[in-house]
Amino acid sequence: MIDGDKIREIVKNEFNLAGFSPADTDTGAVIITGESARKENAALVLEKLSDFAGDFVVSTAGPDLESIIAGKGSGAWQYSIENACTVANLDIGGGTTNIVLFDNGDVIAKGCLDIGGRQIKVDQDYVVRYVSDSAKKIADSLNIDIAADIKITKQNLSNICDSMADLLGQALGIFPKTPLFDAVVTSGSTQMKVSKPIKAISFSGGVADCIYKTVYDDIPYGDIGVFLGRSIKNSALFSNFRNIIPSETIRATVVGAGTYTTSVSGSTITYTNRVFPLKNVPVLFLDGRDEQRCFQGDVAFLLEKIKWFLTQNSVSKCVLAFRGASNPSYKSLITLAECLTKSLDASLKSDEPILIVVESDMAKALGQIIKRLIGDKRSIVVLDKIKVSNNDYIDFGKPLMDGFVIPVVVKTLIFG
């Protein structure tokens, strides 16, 4: 359980120290990640914090989404764009390692393992104070006896962490995956599939500081973080790829928040009037490859992706976004509309609207086909001339100019 009242008190004190009150803040972000996101009262903690600013982006991040957020915050995403290459970022915290692969800015793989610095807690006398199920499985595979309240040698801790580093190497395709790898995959994460050669790697999260910096104390934090950092630095993870120094390590997940960019939709749009206004709807952006599969009518693919997104963000609705095509044929529009409608209708709760934004000028035709397919079963909004990306949130205002345009506020999480 998370003590929401104490966390709220910490945030309140920080406001006071800065000389501000919640009323002075226009926007912000509260995102619960990692082990905290798994706690049963995570949603209650979000509720306790959300009133510190009027239009907070408030969310829990599942393991896959956290991988993407951390990869952007570390600078790996930007590096992949600037150098037109495939980059892996491993965000290693206390309980998990979130992994993402960017190829020229596109997410091509993601996953999460129960490997982290606090999987084993030890005191200065090397007495084990806690061992996770995942760490116990790794120790058992090495025939190392480990349990709370018994001593463990430095060599055995090093051996366990060496095995953890090897498992991370399996995730990136350095070594073949073993049954032990499957045993430490985080529940709810996507199966890691490396489809392109990795050119560069970066590490973020608390353990990254133990990788990039020399730490002389073996147990400064009462856990195995330093041992794990050393094992990774001496592993194939370091020698097989170009190593990038991240712009952020422990603060990579989210370092800034909710800046507003207001857009106005194009005039060739389709919508059901009763749905407005809508606030803080997360964006699921389809890259070029995903979009092509939708134009080909791959319903099963899109349905799985939408369900994954809703689960990762702990939300009941989303905005499906893509670039769109210039002058698509009517036949291709029908195929696309059928794919979008079937996938969204099958994944959304019965009272949720279908929300779609595209960059190209095709919302009117696409929306009319979707409206014909779905009938009165759901409200729909299909807008064009809106540019968004993953990790954005959208507010939809009430129609203006006799219904010709919809004011849209795009909230972008800023990473640095």
Structure tokens at 95: 């309980």
HEC readout, 71-83: HHHHCHHHHHHHC
- pLDDT confidence bin for 31, thresholds 50/70/90: low
The alpha helices in 172-298, defined as continuous H runs, are 179-183, 208-212, 225-233, 236-239, 288-295
Mean pLDDT of the chain: 84
Query: What's the pTM value of the predicted model, to 2 decimals?
Result: 0.65
- The string of pLDDT tens digits covering residues 354-365 is 999 998 888 888
Segment 218-256, tens digit of pLDDT? 999 999 999 999 999 999 999 999 999 887 665 544 432
More confident residue, 392 or 97: 97
CB 194 within 8 A of CB 101: yes
- Write the pLDDT tens digit of every residue in 159-200: 999 999 999 999 999 999 999 999 999 987 888 889 999 999
Count other Cβ atoms within 10 Å, centred on residue 7: 16
Phi, psi of 381 (to 5 degrees): -140, 120
Burial status of residue 319 (CB atoms within 10 A of its CB: 0-12, 13-18, 19 or more)? buried
Q: What is the pLDDT of residue 312?
A: 87
**Residue 263: per-residue pLDDT:** 44
Q: Which residues contact 402 (CB under 8 A, 6 or more apart)?
A: none
Helix (H) or strand (E) holding 334: helix 330-347
What distance in Å separates the CA atoms of residue 122 and residue 128, rounded to the nearest whole number?
Answer: 4
* Of residues 332 and 49, more confidently modeled: 332
Statement: residue 307 has pLDDT above 60: yes
Residues 6+ apart with CB under 8 A from 341: 354, 370, 373, 374
* pLDDT, mean of residues 83-93: 94
Report yes or no: 202 and 89 within 8 Å, Cβ to Cβ.
yes
Residue with tokens 């129960």: 114
Flag whether pLDDT at 41 surpasses 90. Answer: no
CA gap 262, 191 in Å, rounded: 36
Q: Binning pLDDT at 50, 70 and 90, where does residue 336 land? A: very high
Q: Which residue has better confidence, 38 or 360?
A: 360
∠ CA 58-207-31 to the nearest 5 degrees? 0
pLDDT number for residue 43: 60
Per-residue pLDDT at 265: 44
Q: How confident is the model at residue 402 (pLDDT cuts 50, 70, 90)?
A: low
Low-confidence winner among 5-14, 114-123, 345-354, 403-412 (lowest mean pLDDT): 403-412
The CA distances from residue 295 to 327, 355, 366, in Å, are 13, 18, 12
Q: Which residue has the higher pLDDT, 275 or 272?
A: 275
Q: Is the pLDDT of residue 383 over 70?
A: yes
- Please indicate whether residue 399 or residue 89 has the higher confidence score (pLDDT): 89
Q: Are 410 and 303 in contact (CB under 8 A)?
A: no
pLDDT above 70 as % of the chain:
80
Structural domains of the chain sorted by starting position, each given as residue range(s) with its CATH number in brackets? 4-61 (no CATH), 64-243 (3.30.420), 259-412 (no CATH)
Query: Is the model more confident about 23 or about 105?
Result: 105
**How sure is the predictor about 143, in pLDDT bands with cuts at 50, 70 and 90?**
very high
pLDDT band for position 146 (cuts 50, 70, 90): very high
pLDDT classification of 147: cutoffs 50, 70, 90: very high
Residue 29 pLDDT level (bands cut at 50, 70, 90): low
Split at pLDDT 50, 70, 90, the class of 153 is very high
| 87, β-bridge pairs | 102, 200
Q: In whole angstroms, what is the distance from residue 95 CA to residue 104 CA? A: 29
More confident residue, 43 or 370: 370
52-81, pLDDT tens digit by residue? 544 444 454 566 767 877 888 888 988 999
Q: Which has more pLDDT, 15 or 53?
A: 15
